[in-house]
Amino acid sequence: MVTGTSSALVSTAWLEDHLSDPDVRILDCTWHHASTNLDGRTQYRGRHLPGSVHFDIDHIADKSSSLPHMLPTAEDFAKRVGLLGVGDGDRVIVYDRLCGGSAAARVWWMFRAFGFDNVALLDGGYGKWTQEKRQVDISPVRPEPRDLTARLVPSLLRGFDDVKANISSGAAQLIDARGPAKFDGSQEDVFPQRRRGHIPNAVNIPWGDLIEQSSGTFLPVEALKARFAFAGIDLDRPIIATCASGITSCVLALGLHVMGAPDVAVYDGSWAEWNLQDGVAAEAA
């Protein structure tokens, strides 16, 4: 497991040792789909890591889009995240209650998509932290606003037209992070849809396959490499990650980053957008 702040992951032990560092900013990114009857902000208010503030992916998003939690403009991101107390020169640590799959990995990717690379995910998240009986708080955190610079990094973002063109060109490998039943169309997805299945030529690597079930941490690097190799993924070729709505695809992007593939792009609209479009194909296993 990688544990330095220059990496995409930090350990619970590292974070506990650095809680009081003046440049460390901790973001609780827990998010749940409405169908779960759970609410990330409510969970944050109940218990959270010391000094952390809540990052809501539905709030820091493109409000003009009908799609869920799409990437906002760089200006809006900088403004809203600055109000959370994050500024230039800070070290940002993100976590959630589902090992990155309930939006911490998404927030990690958002920062990188806006050119902020000093961001890492707490490996194992809130679950590992509390299992180890480390300190949690119930007091609200009211951060001082800070100035943040944000500039979009186009290589990390893909849209509908890019993915549609890629079906013919095959220039990039498309990996779908959803579970097998949603990928093969035997189970409905959680967002409104016209069709089931997956984008043509996509390969299925469920995001949970990258996580050790007992600890909630990412698999060791060699095990990650073996999982992607088994799926036929070439780490030296371009990769686009997709999922239901651009959240768990970022777990794949993070895992690939740990393996040394730092420029993995994410299809922001993912299946929530693709399945509603006219004139495009969908496949089922």
Catalytic residues: 243
Closest CA to 103 of 160, 212, 176, 29: 29
27 CA to centre of own chain: 13
Question: Token pair of 88, please?
Answer: 């230039």
Question: Token pair of 203, please?
Answer: 């390969």
* Alpha-carbon radius of gyration of the chain: 18
Render the burial of 128-150: b for 16+ CB within 10 Å, e for the rest: bbbeeeeeeeeeebeeeebebeb
Report which secondary-structure segment, H or E, holds 16: helix 12-17
Report which secondary-structure segment, H or E, holds 266: strand 265-267
| Residues 259/233, Cβ–Cβ less than 8 Å | no
Helix and strand tally (H, E) in the chain?
10, 10
Measure the CA–CA gap between 73 and 147, rounded to whole angstroms. 16
